[in-house]
Amino acid sequence: MQPTTQRGTRKMLWLALASFGFAFAMVPMYNIACEKVFGIKLDNSPADAPAKAAAADETRTVRVFFDATVNSKLPWRFTPDQASMDVVPGRLYEASYTARNSAGFANVGNAAPSVAPNQYSGFFSKTECFCFTEQALQPGESRHMPVRFIVSPDLPADVGVLTLSYTFFINDAATAKLSAGAANAALAAP
């Protein structure tokens, strides 16, 4: 091989190795971004498994409020199915939200979660969530979306209220793909 070909091959190998390393590092970087930027701690344990080994604190309850917002570009109606819930720290609970596409065309949205007050978000652990996954809705379609969570018994005793909030944003790229797929299917139909 020529020296320039060998240098080019080495550069390609280093680029492939760096790409693999970057892709491998994306999972922990995603978890850090969720916790630090959005104020949410993701828990990947099975839904039936307790999130923490600590026992439930039966001596108190924490009121969790549920909030839902939609970015103005997304033609959806998005609401929590309950305004609030009193929870015992350390127990697993399930709440739900409902989204409805009020547009005359299919579109895709992604939800970004947050917990307020933000400094206590580390005490709120979700074991099942619809956040960060693409939600495609056809015209007029509604979807029920559950979220399972545990408030840590280590939450400071003077904190009696938390708010779980989701904001749905339109996913323009996924909506364009969905529209292109529907247009191609219509053209292919006899």
Q: How confident is the model at residue 92 (pLDDT cuts 50, 70, 90)?
A: very high
Q: What is the DSSP letter of 171?
A: -
CB burial of residue 162 (10 Å; 0-12, 13-18, 19+): buried
pLDDT at 179 (0 to 100)? 79
pLDDT at 153 (0 to 100)? 96
What residue ranges do the domains of the chain occupy?
1-37, 41-188
pLDDT at 45 (0 to 100)? 46
Higher pLDDT, 28 or 131: 131
Q: Rg of the chain over CA atoms, in angstroms?
A: 22
**Whole-number Å distance between alpha carbons of 70 and 109:** 9
CB burial of residue 89 (10 Å; 0-12, 13-18, 19+): buried
pLDDT at 111 (0 to 100)? 95
Give the lowest-confidence range in 34-38, 137-141, 158-162, 167-171.
34-38
pLDDT at 25 (0 to 100)? 55
- A 10 A CB-CB count for 130 gives 20
Q: Where are the alpha helices (DSSP H) in the chain?
A: 3-36, 172-188
Question: Which residues lie below 8 Å from residue 106, measured CB to CB, with a gap of 6+?
Answer: 136, 137, 138, 139, 175, 178, 179, 182
In the predicted structure, residue 69 carries a pLDDT above the cut 60 = yes
* Strands (E) located in 17-171: 41-42, 62-70, 76-80, 84-87, 92-101, 107-116, 124-128, 135-137, 142-151, 161-170
Q: Residues 147, 115: contact at Cβ < 8 Å?
A: no
Q: How confident is the model at residue 50 (pLDDT cuts 50, 70, 90)?
A: very low
Average pLDDT, the chain: 82
- Residue 22 CB-half CA count within 13 A: 6
Span 174-188, pLDDT tens digits: 999 987 765 444 444
CATH fold of 41-188 = Ctag/Cox11 (Pfam 04442) (2.60.370)
Share of residues in the chain with pLDDT > 90 (%): 59
Span 109-150, pLDDT tens digits: 999 999 999 999 999 999 999 987 899 999 999 999 999 999
